[in-house]
Chains A and B, each alone.
Chain A
Amino acid sequence: MPETILVVVEQREGKLNRVSWETLTAGQALAAETGWTLEAAVVGSGVAGFANEIALKKLAKVYAIESAKLEPYTPDAFVAALKQFLASHPTKLVLMPHTYQVRDFVPKLATAMGRAAISDCIGYKREGEKLLFTRQMFQGKLAADVSFTSDAPWFVTFQNGAYRGDKVEAGASAAPVETVSVVIADGVIRNKPHEVFKEAKQAVDLTQAEIIVAVGRGIKEQKNIEIAKQLAEALGGELAASRPICDSGWLPMDRQIGSSGQTVAPKLYLALGISGAIQHIVGMKGARTIIAVNKDSEAPIFEIADYAVVGNLFDIVPPLIEEVKKAKAGA
């Protein structure tokens, strides 16, 4: 029997988290490479709908791991459920997106099973019989290839943007869906979570944005943010910033991209006056196309840019807004 790869997808607020598709893409690639069987699981209460949605992708089986006690999310319940499931479903590799929720329970799950998790990976390599998982170290300055030295199951989490969610392959026909009811005893759940809320009314989910125009120190003054805003509006995108801009209060914290802000993987990331400190880059390097405008030709942002303009953003942006408006009007 071939080994099994299990992708645990994430749902939140009645929607599959988009990064789940990225993890499925990673799972499909690993399955193709190893010849192992790909399965998926969704954990929660009343999650059959999600399971059916996933079953349309190219995989062998989908499990809906169900208990009323899995809603709302608690690490105690999720660990109990997955531990139970994995005890009866031998699995070689368990893949999950490196979300805040996964970070909250995976180390506990792995420890409870006497296993390890290699977290926040950006890819994998197969060398002979060995599977290596690549992850960033030292804030992205170095990369490491890491192997498991423990028995299965091996837990791996993938960074947002490491794989393309839109590349996930559809199946020839829907995969079978099996509901697995798990029993979570009274007293297992110790945390009592309250309703999820947004701090600021205007809080924006930049992870879902297709186009992002971001500003950095090169914008110089708060009033100059207006031209970046105009460009974002012309493109139909969201405005974002590097940490110093938000620390100065020029834009709210929820528009911050980077290690202490949001991690995004939009279709287009247009960086204006951003030098590209690693703390920023880890939050946006997954963008499909990166355009950088910076007057310093040595700025590290150019290392990862697809298109680069060495020049003054105050010269480039106004005519660019006009060109974009023209193109949109003509479209």
Chain B
Amino acid sequence: MKILVCMKQVPQKDAPLKLNETGTWIREDVSYEVNEPDAYALEEALRQKEKHGGEVVVITSGPARAQQVLREALAKGADRAIHLEDNAFVGLDAFNTARAFAAAIKDDQFDLIFTGLQSDDYGYAQTGVVLAELLGWPHATIIMQIEKNESGIRVKRELEAGYFQFVDMPLPAVLTIQSGINKLRYATLIGIKQAKNKPLRKVSLAEVQSALGANLQKIERLYVPQKTKNTEFLEGPAGEVAKKLAEKLRNEVRVL
């Protein structure tokens, strides 16, 4: 199976974020890491390749710093990488990001494309599904298991409230992968060494520009959310606090 994994570099979870001067994006001088669900998507692709053979290709878009995500993926076992390198890719909406990816891979023949189920920065949860529609492929989201069968694949979708569902689908297909589908591996020293010699194709903005259109949505402003709650602190010895809490539960929350 030939699998493409779409990966994204996002600010580290505990990184303090500052707004840029126009208040429309963050200042870029923060620490970055791979978007967590994308790491699981890569791991799943590597496991599928180990089972069925084939090739794992990783793709990302963003400025030079984003290459780190691809280097790590190559060190873990991906075979080659594609980097849509330009700062302008950061500001693309999901529709345009998917169009850029579709344009960059037009000469490849993949059986499967994986993305993480959503990104930790925008959190739109759309790029994978948009890409499927652009390619005319079927898709399934929030996937917890993938098995190859005669006619294609059987995937396990996570639904809400503890429900799951198996879905049979033909290939090629796009799947968005849920965190926790597998256990992540670490890159080995030899892997890191080999990664240096693996192919990494750079794609410029100009190469995919003709496939892009205007963004269909715009961040007008970005800001620190206001604290909307008036918190009432209950103080005193434990027994007294318990009494006060019970009183709130009875008279304010009305659950007693």
Contact = CB atoms under 8 A, between A and B. Distances in A.
B13 interface: yes
Given A137-B222, A307-B231, A267 B253 contact: yes
Interface string A261-283: 01000011000000000010000
A211 B255 contact: yes
Main secondary structure of the interface of A (DSSP, over half): mixed
A236 B164 CA distance: 27
Contacts of B205: none
A136 B255 contact: no
B125 interface: yes
B234 interface: yes
Interface string A75-109: 11000000000000000000000011101111110
A76 B214 CA distance: 26
B27 to A, nearest CB: 12
Given A307-B232, A319-B242, A143 B222 contact: yes
Given A147-B220, A260-B179, A311-B241, A192 B130 contact: no
The residue in B169, B230, B255 that gathers the most chain A C-beta atoms within 10 A of its C-beta is: B255
A86 B180 CA distance: 37
B165 A196 contact: yes
B252 interface: yes
Interface stretch (A21-29, A63-71, A116-124, A177-185): A116-124
A289 B223 contact: no
Given A99-B160, A191-B138, A309 B179 contact: no
B219 A146 contact: yes
A323 interface: yes
Contacts of A190: 138, 169-170
Nearest to A267: B255
Contacts of A268: 249, 253, 255
A148 B232 CA distance: 39
Nearest to A260: B179
B13 to A, nearest CB: 7
Interface stretch (A35-43, A163-171, A298-306): A298-306
A206 B163 CA distance: 12
A143 B220 CA distance: 11
Contacts of A150: 216-217
A323 B238 contact: no
Nearest to B225: A143
A47 interface: no
Given A309-B233, A327-B250, A194 B218 contact: no
Contacts of A296: none
B85 interface: no
A309 B140 contact: no
Contacts of A291: 245, 248, 253
Given A137-B222, A306-B232, A327-B250, A195 B165 contact: yes
A142 B224 contact: yes
Interface in B150-179: 158-170, 178-179
A143 B139 CA distance: 30
Contacts of A147: 217-218, 220
A105 B176 CA distance: 12
Contacts of B219: 144-146
A75 B130 CA distance: 12
B222 A144 contact: yes
B245 A137 contact: no
Given A142-B17, A307-B232, A196 B163 contact: yes
Contacts of A197: 163-165
Contact of A306 (B125, B166, B222, B231): B231
Interface stretch (B52-60, B75-83, B116-124, B190-198): B116-124
B229 A207 contact: no
Nearest to B253: A289
A107 B126 contact: yes
A140 to B, nearest CB: 7
A100 B159 contact: yes
Contact of B238 (A75, A107, A311): A311
Contacts of B214: 149
Nearest to A235: B255
A115 interface: yes
A222 interface: no
Interface string A204-243: 1111101100000000000000000000000110000000
Nearest to B95: A116
25 contacts: A100-B158, A101-B159, A104-B142, A106-B126, A116-B94, A120-B123, A135-B123, A137-B222, A145-B219, A147-B218, A147-B220, A148-B217, A149-B215, A150-B216, A196-B159, A197-B164, A199-B162, A205-B161, A210-B255, A211-B255, A235-B256, A304-B227, A308-B233, A310-B235, A320-B246
Given A136-B225, A191-B169, A289-B252, 11 more contacts: A117-B126, A132-B220, A137-B123, A143-B222, A150-B217, A204-B161, A288-B253, A290-B229, A307-B248, A308-B234, A320-B246
Interface of A: 75-76, 99-101, 103-108, 110-112, 115-120, 132, 135-150, 190-200, 203-208, 210-211, 235-236, 254, 260, 262, 267-268, 279, 288-291, 302-312, 315-316, 319-320, 322-324, 326-328, 331
The 8 closest A-B pairs by CB, nearest first: A203-B162, A116-B216, A323-B246, A319-B242, A107-B129, A205-B161, A150-B216, A107-B126
